[in-house]
Amino acid sequence: MIALLWGNLFDALCWLIILPVVIALGYRCLSRSEDPKMLIFKWVASAVLLLAILGMVARHWVAAPLFVAIPAVFLGLLWTPSIGAFLVKPFTDSLHGGTEEVEPKPFYYVAEAHRRKGLFEQAAAEVRQQLEKFPGDVPGHMMLATMQAEDMHDMAAARATLEELLAAPDLAPQAAVTALYTLADWQLQFGRDPEAARASLERIVGLFPHTQFSHAAEQRIAHLAGAGETRHQREHAKFQVRERERNIGLRPPVQAEPEKIDANALAGEYVKQLEAHPADTDTREKLAVLYAEQFHRLDLAADQLEQLIAVPEETPKHVAHWLNLMATLHIKLARDEESAEKAVRRIIEKFPNSGLAEVAAARLAALHQELKEGVMPQAKRLGIYDKDIGLKSN
């Protein structure tokens, strides 16, 4: 009795395990089948034939081969095509790519070939054909705008193409920022229009406030005036060919004097730039280094660096750079190993379990050697403007 009970329990457990597996496999095969109705018919017919075979074997076990042959032949005819197709499927898939549906994507090979041949109108027309099928494709819009701006010198058309992309629904932030940066670059390079470039960059600040995108755009805005002035000087520069000096090889070598820096004037320029663009991290870093190296005011330098470190949109790489710079200034200018160590440890605390933390830990072990190599510079007086600058926040 106990053996019978255990046997029934074992059978029940087997069915509980096997039945869900069979159902799952059947559903998977049915969902992948090209003709689900035919597959269901095959299953039903196979079940009937198998039951007939089992019944014949049970009743006529001596003559079973004779009675089983007919339903077995029908069963083989039913499944032989499917089994054959399954066996040769890997070979046929390697020839024609298989039966899986490929996600449709735009192709710009023809357009690129036309562009390499200098057939820009044909290339642009080919890209437009692809964009009609895939209206929100970012690479296609950028390719068309690039051809319009750089090859066809049609800034109005290039801007219209980028504006069409920016108006696309569900456009990724990175794609929008790339489009606006590209537009700003073209407005500077081809349009010679810093104000238009500024407007494009300000759109990034407006679209993505308090993000790394807006912070980077503010850096570009802060240097637009300098870039425009440099371009103007380069375009209007006059070059003169002077008469070369004779017998220069007979002259004794002349030691070149180091270029003298007007620290007060340079600090004043940095202060003026920061008053106009408080988010200009490059200028603020230069001012910090100037305070430390030329005036030996580590307190003012540290204040500038702390303002940079406190910017919430800054990247970990930049923050670690400024903390390392603070440590370097403490070592080389004040020979203060303790303060330098605190600055480096802040990198590990801010970015634990990162590559930056590993580099900082390696530097901690070498700080004492850096201290031995440091040289104390001579002092220089600070200008009259030091009462305010350095204490301002951004």
pLDDT digits (tens, 9 = 90+) for 380-390: 455 544 444 44
Domain spanning 123-231 has what CATH number?
1.25.40.10
Helix count (H) and strand count (E) of the chain?
A: 17, 0
* 209 DSSP assignment: T
Could you give phi then psi for residue 74, rounded to 5 degrees? -65, -35
Model confidence band, residue 95 (pLDDT cutoffs 50, 70, 90): low
230 pLDDT higher than 60: no
Decide if 115 contacts 87 (C-beta within 8 A): no
Which string of b and e fits 232-242 if b means at least 16 CB within 10 Å? eeeeeeeeeee
Per CATH, 123-231 and 265-387 having the same topology is answered: yes
The predicted pLDDT at position 391 comes to 41
Higher model confidence: residue 3 or residue 122? Answer: 122
The predicted pLDDT at position 224 comes to 83
pLDDT digits (tens, 9 = 90+) for 233-252: 444 444 444 555 555 555 55
The predicted pLDDT at position 390 comes to 45
Model confidence band, residue 394 (pLDDT cutoffs 50, 70, 90): very low
Among candidate residues 330, 316, 331, the one with its CA nearest the CA of residue 368: 331
Q: What pTM value is reported for the model? A: 0.58
Among candidate residues 118, 183, 122, 135, the one with its CA nearest the CA of residue 157: 183
pLDDT digits (tens, 9 = 90+) for 110-169: 999 999 999 999 999 999 999 999 988 999 999 999 999 999 999 999 999 999 999 998
Provide the CB-side half-sphere exposure for 5 (13 A, CA).
2
pLDDT digits (tens, 9 = 90+) for 329-353: 999 888 899 999 999 999 999 999 9
CA 43: distance to chain centroid?
Answer: 51
Tokens encoding 25: 């496999």
Model confidence band, residue 48 (pLDDT cutoffs 50, 70, 90): confident
% of the chain exceeding 90 in pLDDT? 44
57 pLDDT higher than 60: yes
The mean predicted confidence, pLDDT, of the chain is 79
Domain coordinates of the chain in residue numbers? 123-231, 265-387
CATH of 265-387, picked from 3.40.50.1700, 3.40.50.1370, 3.20.20.150, 1.25.40.10, is 1.25.40.10
Model confidence band, residue 232 (pLDDT cutoffs 50, 70, 90): very low
The predicted pLDDT at position 24 comes to 73
User: Using only C-alpha atoms, what is the Rg of the chain?
Assistant: 38
Model confidence band, residue 366 (pLDDT cutoffs 50, 70, 90): confident
DSSP states of 331-354? HHHH--HHHHHHHHHHHHHHSTTS
Decide if 48 contacts 30 (C-beta within 8 A): no
The predicted pLDDT at position 393 comes to 42
Q: Which residues contact 392 (CB under 8 A, 6 or more apart)?
A: 274, 278
Residue labelled with tokens 């307190």: 299
- End-to-end alpha carbon distance in the chain: 88
Among candidate residues 28, 74, 24, the one with its CA nearest the CA of residue 48: 74
Higher model confidence: residue 155 or residue 39? Answer: 155
Q: How many of the other CB atoms lie within 10 Å of CB of 309?
A: 19
pLDDT digits (tens, 9 = 90+) for 270-281: 999 899 888 899
Decide if 204 contacts 180 (C-beta within 8 A): yes
